[in-house]
Amino acid sequence: MVTSVLKSTWAYRSFILGSIKRDIQARYKSSALGALWTIFGPLAMITVYTVVFSEIMRAKLPGSEDPLAYSIYLCSGVLAWGFFSESLTRATNVFIENGNLIQKLNFPRSSLPMIVIGNALFNFFIVLALFGIYLLITDRWPGAAILSLPILVALQIILIAGLGITLGVLNVFFRDVGQLLAIVLQFWFWLTPIVYPLSIIPEKFQGIVESNPLTPLIQAYQTVFLNGQWPDWQQLAPLTIGSTLLLIIGYGLFKAKSGEMVDEL
């Protein structure tokens, strides 16, 4: 099943890449600064986190004397979370938003979630590049551990695709799914060690946070950027298996309900 997803994505790669390019161009078509806005937003985020937490609040990461450690820790988590939440939200609504196209045109509908993930990935890479420049300027480049990022991003895409396709199909038949997701994401953010390290949580609540599937992924990003160390691959193994199974379930659900989706839309 996963092979089918990969083959389908590769077969329609020109359609997917062309759609991503058109979406990006349309987003900034009437803007005087155009695509520069994709740089200003992330640059402002990094600046605010660094100034507010490192200079104004003097926030420090437990066990570290580095004045920039907390801002790097925070930016690492927010960067990964932003990619996850943006693409998952858009993937959940993608079939409804493209209902007219699905009804009138014959095109590879299974590629729609990959298009929205591709758009979010474009934004993610811009933020990642700016964050990398920030690490270089502050002499905190993670070194060889940065080579693990493609694997982490690929794992995150599998998780998003599995969740996005599943929720996207369910949202066609039960429109409350999209509304509920917005609420769930708010709780999900605070149940993920992004703003706080896992070590400061009371022991009785640590099990809840550790059961969060995003926790090992976010910690992997933080390990790379903050400590310059390779992720704990063993810790990521359950997420890899679970994400793959979720993708299989999501694609199977899409194949089973694709005909009914047209009528429902």
DSSP letters, the chain, are -HHHHHHHHHHTHHHHHHHHHHHHHHHTTT-SSGGGHHHHHHHHHHHHHIIIIIIIS----TT---TTHHHHHHHHHHHHHHHHHHHHHHHHHHHHHTHHHHHH--S-GGGHHHHHHHHHHHHHHHHHHHHHHHHHHTT---GGGGGGHHHHHHHHHHHHHHHHHHHHHHHHH-THHHHHHHHHHHHHHHTSTTSS-GGGS-HHHHHHHHTSTHHHHHHHHHIIIII-----HHHHHHHHHHHHHHHHHHHHHHHHHHHHHHHH-
Top pLDDT among 103 and 68 is at 68
- Mean pLDDT, the chain, as a whole number? 84
pLDDT at position 34: 57
pTM comes to: 0.87
pLDDT at position 239: 95
Residue range 179-198: mean pLDDT, rounded: 91
